[in-house]
Amino acid sequence: MSRGSVTNSSSSASIQFFRGTDEKAVPEIRLTRSRDGRTGQAFFSFDQPEALINPEQIGEIIGMILIDEEGELITREVKARFVNGSPNAIEAIYTWKSDADFQRFMRFAERYAQSHGLGYTQTGDKQSNE
């Protein structure tokens, strides 16, 4: 992990599809965890993200970078969703394989929520932003 381009306040967090360019669209995030809580996934859905404004750049998206004061979390599981031949959403999956990885992701999620004035709801084992 790199401490990279985080220069804002200590609670600052951002998401990037192109290194150095923060995505302004706020995603819907759903979490799933295994019964023992060790493994799980966060499903991100960005409707009308700025990363899709220039369709020629879609091929340049190589992943989703979650950045905060601790460094970066990166996933390569990213795809564009198309409607009538035009890109209109980005979906990404971040996977963790240990409780420590989950706790790290949750620290990022809390910072991201604070940075963007969000909250989250929890129902059973599922959590999502509001």
Domain boundaries, the chain: 13-117
The CATH superfamily label for domain 13-117 reads Photosystem II Psb28 (2.40.30.220)
From the list 5, 12, 34, the residue with the least C-alpha distance to 101 is 34
Q: Letter for the amino acid at 31?
A: L
Identity (one letter) of the amino acid at 20?
G
Q: Give the per-residue pLDDT at 112.
A: 95
Residue 104 pLDDT: 97
Mean pLDDT by 10 residues, the chain (130 residues): 38 90 95 92 96 82 96 96 91 96 95 85 49
Per-residue pLDDT, 121: 61
